[in-house]
Chains A and B, each alone.
Chain A
Amino acid sequence: MKQLIAALALALTLAAGSAVAQESEATEAEASPEDRETSFQNVTGPQVEDVPGGALLIGAYGVAWFLVVAYLWRLAALNRRTAAEVASLHYAVKNASPKDD
């Protein structure tokens, strides 16, 4: 009987020890040092932080289309200037009296 009780106690102890060990491992995995700040260090590489992707997306497309529109605006100005030069030349020639002829 004593032997039976001793064997049962040993089995329970082993089972409990194994369960405690597993729980301890799970707790360590859940609360690893990476999950909480333990110190502050200088940045040595690219700084990782949460960047709002939507703002970057809108910024990228906004800048791209702004540049295209600005270039079209410049082309329109250049076209107007050329037309003005043509008109000016036309006026000058129309009102001029040739020197040689």
Chain B
Amino acid sequence: MAEGAIESDAPVVQHAASSPPPVAPVIHVLAAATAIAIGVFLYLVFFQAPTEVQMGISQKIFYIHVPSAYGMYFGYTISAVAGMIYLAKRSDRADAWSLAGAEIGTLFVLIVLITGPLWGRKAWGTFWVWDPRLTSTLLTGLIYVSFLALRGFGQVGEVEKRFAAALAVIGFPLLFVIKYSVKRWSGQHPVVVSGGGGGIHDDMKPAFFTGFVVISLLALLLIVIRVAIERSRQEVERATIDAATRGLLGGDS
């Protein structure tokens, strides 16, 4: 995966290898830390955290749902900031970070939009309501899905990258709409932790905060891996063009 398998100005592809490129040590460290944190998290959720008096056992969905929403904010913020940098500087590195952020943010928004309705089925008696927070989360997710669709169709050129970066930037203010929709428009979504809620019992806090650690590590790990792969792909593209220009590929240059 990783760092510059191919030098774009090399006459011959010096570093190309038939085996997969080496994985950076930072990824190994992050992966090990994430695996340990996931184990601790699952133990705390299923064996240590108490059952909630009103919701029963299904309240434990909360420990994955809320941190996943944080993972969504994390991914989409990286995508938007990197998108802004890309629009300003046309940096391939920024493009890779923007793409990675959008993918990881969308992964977590999917988790949020699946675990939330499963909780809602128990709490509200229905999977979905057009609550302001649910609706704004869905809309934000759709904007970044359109980003990924734009990047996923065939050959991606400069124009597609610019449009995608603009979408990432446009989607960013919606994150604040999600955050403050509960205060501004009320709705049915609970406000347990933020927005003047009553908070959670002390015995629930270890599982809850470990969830944030797990999602932080996982999001960071996935983004680092995705950026490394995308950077390699960019290098391969440049090297292919370079080799074709030098007439090394047997086709017209």
Binding site for B on A (CB under 8 A): 46-49, 51, 53-54, 56-57, 59-61, 63-64, 67-68, 71-72, 75, 78-80, 82-83, 85-87, 89-90, 92-94, 96, 98-101
Contact = CB atoms under 8 A, between A and B. Distances in A.
A64 B114 contact: yes
Interface residues of B, number: 52
Interface in B73-112: 103, 107, 110-111
B16 A87 contact: yes
B20 A53 contact: no
13 contacts: A47-B126, A51-B58, A51-B121, A56-B58, A60-B114, A60-B118, A64-B64, A64-B114, A71-B107, A80-B20, A83-B21, A86-B6, A98-B248
Nearest to B231: A82
B243 interface: yes
A57 B236 contact: no
B226 A53 contact: no
B229 A78 contact: yes
B61 A60 contact: yes
B13 A89 contact: yes
Contacts of A99: 247, 253
B161 to A, nearest CB: 18
Contacts, number: 132
A43 to B, nearest CB: 9
B188 to A, nearest CB: 9
B164 interface: no
Contacts of A71: 103, 107, 222
B57 interface: yes
B3 to A, nearest CB: 13
B18 A56 contact: no
B58 A100 contact: no
